[in-house]
């Protein structure tokens, strides 16, 4: 049968590997392997600078390769890279570019440390919190540098996830991006119990979701006889509503919905966002969301378009529930990181409402939204990473994340508070920020497709969400000192080596530029808003 | 035996695994539930592979085994570090985060 083309290309003497097209993924994964060797062989003192330079260079090189391909997509798009394991679609290229951009900004925040030389990670992740061993490690000045190879492996997985050409590659990429993140979530320097709890929850629920993805892949393989996405798409037009196929597709979507944090598979998001070290939260919130939406887009647009009429009601329900739940529960949060976690859920709903229209406009809107949301998220969590508690003797402690501790921040650290306000305004979708352009593009696509329920829910949720973003701005700028001193002391901006400030500045610049003059970037996005059809 | 029998077995194993994750409160046992789900998927892959007479499903099963091994390494590391801190692996004990 023509459709039953195998992954194993047994008659060929070898599979041609298009190194240039795979370079963005391979550079990052190669650098990750080198970084592991650096951990083993480079002397302790030199390790940190070497790791930082290596990882930043790798992500920059990978991002530039992707940008080069995205500027001349017709020369590079191909659905037969590395056999048939990788499909380099224009939309996937755009996702790769967005992942590389956010990962670079995220890395800057991760690599930063205070002028006292304290980064966000525990010196010895294996030590028991509060033990003598931990104390010794801290006093010996040990530095956690395992973070960099882990971040590179995760980034490599994220770059591969949206371009995977078969379900097996997709599953492996999913695990390559997830496993390092489970570990990274548990490495916070302060509040280690919370961090370990986040790590365990993320791991158990993440592994549970990947099992669903895998079982779904098995059923799809059973129904179509192949794991290749195009072959599956071809069989789908033949088979139509085959129950085995439908069950498989739904299980795959469950796995992907978990990764993007859509209701009802969102329950890990608040705990993990709150517990993980803040720079990791920023990296994960931006890059995982982009990469997972990339994979979801690929499944929805190039595999199941023949089932879209049947799937639309379910997808609409998920999008509406996600928007409503994220917004409503976000309103009552008293912790800044937790509030941004619920905001992340709501944003997943906004992005979904664009892409479930299955139109080019919806795809363009969702892609643009993903890019701008990722950049602003890294910037926002970068600010949170800098706002620390100060105890009575003036020692810096962990991050001040309770909303009470942010009272009057506009007077203590006006620049940081101002930057954070801009990020909140873009999350709220206020005109002249990139968030407004993204929301406008997504909702106009929904209305254009006749999805009034989606568009109206989206608008209502945006209005409610704006309330809790503005509340933070009011707390920062217009509220006096609290009557009772906040638990843990008030937050204040900490002095660091300046890498986070660079990341925040770039994120802020992108947010404002794409908000004021979005036209050229929307055109660029639109030029990449399609998938190659077999 | 026909392929159907294997598929029913795979589904039963998957359901048992998923129920274990949802019902049990011991992190290690929940993790075993996840492993059972992965192996159920493997069984389904192999049964379908046999049905089609291609090697794709067997190939997938090998990849899944490698990934599952990597997952055990990461998962047990997380569970052990949590146990050393709290002396328990129950996921119900004192959740520190408020909803």
Q: pLDDT in tens for each of the 534 residues of chain A? A: 334 445 554 455 567 788 889 999 999 999 999 999 999 999 988 999 999 999 999 999 999 999 999 999 888 888 778 878 898 999 999 999 999 999 999 999 999 998 888 888 988 888 888 888 888 888 888 888 999 999 999 999 999 999 999 999 999 999 999 999 999 999 998 888 899 999 999 999 999 999 999 999 999 999 999 999 989 988 888 887 788 888 999 999 999 999 999 989 999 999 999 999 999 999 999 999 999 999 999 999 888 888 888 888 899 999 999 999 999 999 999 999 999 999 999 999 999 999 888 899 999 999 999 999 999 999 999 999 999 987 766 667 788 889 888 988 999 899 999 999 999 999 999 999 999 999 999 999 999 988 899 999 999 999 999 998 999 999 999 887 666 666 777 888 888 899 999 999 999 999 999 999 999 999 999 999 988 876
A206 → chain B, closest CA residue:
B34
Global pTM? 0.94
Q: How far is A272 from chain B (nearest CA, A)?
A: 10
**What local confidence, expressed as pLDDT, does residue A6 receive?**
52
Pick among B19, B27, B73, B78 to test the A interface (most A CBs inside 10 A): B78
> Is B41's CB within 8 Å of A217's CB?
yes
Confidence of residue B1 (pLDDT cuts 50, 70, 90): low
Pick among B4, B48, B68 to test the A interface (most A CBs inside 10 A): B48
Residue among B31, B41, B75 whose CB faces A214 most closely: B41
Q: Report the C-alpha dihedral over residues A188, A185, A153, B70, rounded to 10 degrees.
A: 120
Q: Report the C-alpha dihedral over residues A191, A194, A195, A201, rounded to 10 degrees.
A: 180
Residues B36-89: tens digit of each pLDDT: 999 999 999 999 999 999 999 999 999 999 999 999 999 999 999 989 888 877
What SS3 class is residue A265? coil
Q: For residues B49 and B89, give the distance between their C-alpha atoms in angstroms, rounded to a whole number.
A: 38
Q: For residues A95 and A289, give the distance between their C-alpha atoms in angstroms, rounded to a whole number.
A: 10
Task: Show residues of chain A in contact with B52, CB under 8 Å.
Answer: 4, 225
Q: Are A184 and A277 in contact (CB under 8 A)?
A: yes
- Cis? peptide before A264, omega within 30° of 0: yes
| Residues in Cβ contact with A2 at an 8 Å cutoff, skipping those fewer than 6 apart | none
Q: How far is B9 from chain A (nearest CA, A)?
A: 13
Q: How far is A220 from chain B (nearest CA, A)?
A: 10
Residue among A126, A182, A222 whose CB faces B48 most closely: A222
Q: How far is A363 from chain B (nearest CA, A)?
A: 31
Residue among A128, A226, A338 whose CB faces B84 most closely: A128
User: What are the extents of the domains in chain A?
Assistant: 19-527
**What local confidence, expressed as pLDDT, does residue A484 receive?**
67
Nearest to A111 by CA among A63, A157, A152, A158: A152
User: What are the extents of the domains in chain B?
Assistant: 3-86
Nearest to B45 by CA among B34, B32, B60: B60
Stronger pLDDT, B34 or A449, i.e. the higher one: B34
Neighbours of A26 (CB within 10 A): 17
Task: Show residues of chain B in contact with A183, CB under 8 Å.
Answer: 74, 77-78
A128 → chain B, closest CA residue:
B85
Residue among B45, B55, B97 whose CB faces A275 most closely: B97
Residue among A129, A198, A207 whose CB faces B71 most closely: A207
Query: What is B3-86's CATH topology?
Result: Helix Hairpins (1.10.287)
> Is A226's CB within 8 Å of B56's CB?
yes
Nearest to A48 by CA among A386, A384, A497: A497
Neighbours of A496 (CB within 10 A): 18
**What local confidence, expressed as pLDDT, does residue A132 receive?**
87
Q: With 70 as the cut, is the pLDDT of residue B94 above it? A: no
A215 → chain B, closest CA residue:
B41
Q: How far is B96 from chain A (nearest CA, A)?
A: 6
Alpha helices in A394-483 (DSSP H): 409-412, 414-428, 434-448, 452-478
Task: Show residues of chain B in contact with A267, CB under 8 Å.
Answer: none
**What local confidence, expressed as pLDDT, does residue A450 receive?**
87
> Is B21's CB within 8 Å of A208's CB?
yes
**What local confidence, expressed as pLDDT, does residue A336 receive?**
94
**What local confidence, expressed as pLDDT, does residue A308 receive?**
82
Residue among B31, B41, B95 whose CB faces A218 most closely: B41
What SS3 class is residue A122? coil
Q: What is the DSSP letter of A301?
A: I
Would an 8 Å CB–CB cutoff place A361 in contact with chain B?
no
**What local confidence, expressed as pLDDT, does residue B26 receive?**
92
């Amino acid at each position: 049968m023509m459709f039953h083309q195998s992954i194993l290309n047994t008659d060929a003497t070898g599979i041609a590997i298009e190194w240039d097209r795979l370079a963005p993924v391979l550079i990052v994964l190669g650098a990750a392997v080198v970084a592991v060797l650096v951990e083993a062989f480079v002397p302790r003192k030199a390790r940190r600078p070497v790791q930082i330079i290596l990882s930043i260079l790798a992500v920059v090189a990978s991002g530039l390769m992707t940008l080069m391909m995205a500027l001349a997509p017709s020369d590079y798009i191909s659905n037969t890279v590395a056999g048939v394991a990788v499909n380099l679609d224009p939309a996937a290229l755009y996702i790769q570019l967005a992942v590389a951009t956010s990962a670079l900004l995220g890395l800057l925040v991760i690599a930063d440390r205070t002028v006292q030389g304290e980064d966000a990670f525990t010196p010895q992740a294996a030590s028991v919190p509060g033990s003598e061993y931990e104390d010794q490690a801290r006093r010996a000045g040990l530095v956690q540098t395992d973070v960099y190879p882990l971040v590179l492996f995760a980034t490599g997985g994220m770059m591969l996830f949206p371009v995977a050409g078969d379900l097996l590659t997709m599953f492996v990429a999913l695990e390559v991006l997830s496993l390092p993140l489970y570990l990274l979530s548990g490495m916070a320097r302060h509040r280690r119990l919370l961090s370990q709890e986040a790590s365990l929850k993320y791991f158990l629920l993440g592994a549970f979701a990947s099992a669903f993805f895998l079982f779904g892949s098995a059923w799809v393989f059973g129904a179509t006889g192949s794991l290749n996405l195009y072959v599956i798409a071809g069989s789908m037009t033949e088979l139509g509503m085959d129950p085995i196929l439908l069950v498989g597709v739904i299980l795959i979507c469950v796995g992907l919905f978990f990764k993007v944090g859509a209701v009802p598979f969102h329950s890990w998001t608040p705990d993990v966002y709150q517990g993980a070290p803040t720079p990791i939260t920023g990296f994960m919130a931006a890059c995982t969301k982009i990469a997972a939406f990339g994979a979801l887009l690929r499944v929805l647009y190039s595999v199941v378009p023949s089932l879209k009429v049947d799937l639309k009601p379910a997808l609409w329900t998920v999008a509406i529930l996600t928007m409503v739940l994220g917004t409503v529960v976000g309103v009552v949060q008293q912790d800044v990181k937790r509030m941004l976690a619920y905001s992340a859920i709501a944003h997943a709903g906004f992005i979904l409402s664009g892409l479930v229209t299955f139109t080019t406009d919806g795809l363009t809107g969702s892609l643009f939204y993903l890019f701008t949301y990722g950049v602003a998220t890294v910037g926002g969590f970068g600010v949170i990473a800098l706002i620390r508690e100060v105890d009575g003797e003036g020692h810096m402690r962990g991050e001040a994340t309770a909303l009470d501790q942010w009272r009057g921040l506009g007077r203590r650290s006006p620049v940081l508070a101002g930057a954070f306000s801009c990020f909140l305004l873009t999350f709220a979708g206020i005109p002249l920020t990139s968030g407004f352009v993204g929301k406008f593009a997504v909702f106009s696509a929904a209305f254009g497709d006749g999805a009034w329920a989606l568009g109206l829910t989206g608008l209502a949720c945006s209005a409610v969400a704006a309330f809790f973003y503005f509340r933070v701005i009011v707390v920062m700028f217009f509220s006096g000192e609290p009557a009772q001193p906040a638990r843990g002391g008030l937050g204040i901006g900490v002095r660091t080596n300046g890498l986070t400030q660079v990341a925040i500045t770039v994120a802020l610049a992108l947010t404002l530029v794409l908000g004021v003059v979005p036209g050229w970037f929307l055109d660029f996005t639109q030029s990449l808003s399609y998938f190659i059809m077999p | 035996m026909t392929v159907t029998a294997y598929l029913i077995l795979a589904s039963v194993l998957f359901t048992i695994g998923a129920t274990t994750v949802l019902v049990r409160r011991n992190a290690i046992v929940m993790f075993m539930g996840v492993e059972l789900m992965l192996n159920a998927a493997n069984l389904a892959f192999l049964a379908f592979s046999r049905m089609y007479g291609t090697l794709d499903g067997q190939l997938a099963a090998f990849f899944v085994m490698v990934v599952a091994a990597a997952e055990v390494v990461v998962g047990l590391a997380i569970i052990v570090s949590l146990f050393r801190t709290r002396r328990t692996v129950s996921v119900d004990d004192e959740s520190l985060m408020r909803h």
